[in-house]
């Protein structure tokens, strides 16, 4: 059985147990919503009320993430279709197609970064563990990575030439991560670190060994 089941019992646990038997699932394979707690009647006999629960088979993490992002976009009034690109453990890659992609992506990816942060937060809280939801739209992530690495290369070449550190313009945490990985993989004689706070936080590219120790 694949749909949700509503079940009553003398206690919440009894109702859950009976629902699991109907669904043929274990406790770890379902989500439980308690509709009402049991209430004792007069002298424990008359007028009592049974507990009621709704038990639903748990969706795979990828489908759950897709549903969360789709519902957020639907409530915001966007005409989109969210699909699963890849799913590996607790990391899910999603892709968005539809209208108003510019608004969904936002300036320098600010909106789509917020969307994936919110989806990750919702699922991490629900499952009490770190769930990473990565969201892309019209190949934005690949295009953004290419642009950021091109800018980082220009700065890195200048640092190699002058031997002096140089700061890149303030950027998002996602873009800073791209720069750090690129410098580590492509410039063995250089290093990178972040400096500053909030929206003014920058990535510094410097000769290896000259980065702050604190």
Q: Give the pLDDT confidence of 116-154 residue by residue, as tens digits.
A: 999 999 999 988 899 999 999 989 999 999 999 999 999
The answer to whether the CB of 211 falls within 8 A of the CB of 191 is yes
With CA atoms as reference, report the closest residue to 94 among 154, 141, 144, 148: 141
pTM (two decimals): 0.70
**Sequence ranges of the domains in the chain:** 5-57, 61-138, 142-207
Q: Find the DSSP H helices in the chain.
A: 12-23, 61-75, 101-105, 110-127, 140-162, 173-186
List the chain residues with pLDDT less than 50.
none
Centroid of chain to Cα 13: 32
Cα separation, 193 vs 180, whole angstroms: 7
Q: Which residue has the tokens 């699922």?
A: 123
Domain 61-138: CATH class, spelled out: alpha beta
- Quote the pLDDT of residue 120: 96
- Quote the pLDDT of residue 174: 86
The answer to whether the CB of 106 falls within 8 A of the CB of 116 is no
* Range 5-57 has CATH code 3.30.30: yes
- Quote the pLDDT of residue 144: 93
Superfamily of domain 142-207: R3H-like domain (3.30.1370.50)
Task: Kindly report the backbone phi and psi dihedral angles of residue 200, in degrees, each rounded to the nearest multiple of 5, phi listed first.
Answer: -95, 5
């Amino acid at each position: 059985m694949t749909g949700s089941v509503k079940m009553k019992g003398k206690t919440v646990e009894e109702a859950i147990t009976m629902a699991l038997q109907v669904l043929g699932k274990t406790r770890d394979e379902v989500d439980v919503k308690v509709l009402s707690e049991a209430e004792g009647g007069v002298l424990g006999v008359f007028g009592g009320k049974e507990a009621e629960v709704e038990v639903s088979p748990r969706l795979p993490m990828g489908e759950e993430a897709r549903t969360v992002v789709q519902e957020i976009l639907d409530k915001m009034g966007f005409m989109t279709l969210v699909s699963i690109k890849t799913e590996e453990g607790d990391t899910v890659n999603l892709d968005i197609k539809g209208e108003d992609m510019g608004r969904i992506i936002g300036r320098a990816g600010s909106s789509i970064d917020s969307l994936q942060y919110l989806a990750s937060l919702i699922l991490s809280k629900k499952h009490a563990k770190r769930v990473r939801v990565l969201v892309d739209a019209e190949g934005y992530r690949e295009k953004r990575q290419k642009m950021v690495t091109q800018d980082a290369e220009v700065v890195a070449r200048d640092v190699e030439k002058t031997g002096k550190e140089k700061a890149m313009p303030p950027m998002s945490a996602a873009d800073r991560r791209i720069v750090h990985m690129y410098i580590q993989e492509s410039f063995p004689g250089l290093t990178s670190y972040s400096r500053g706070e909030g929206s003014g936080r920058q990535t510094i590219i410097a000769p290896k060994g000259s980065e702050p120790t604190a």
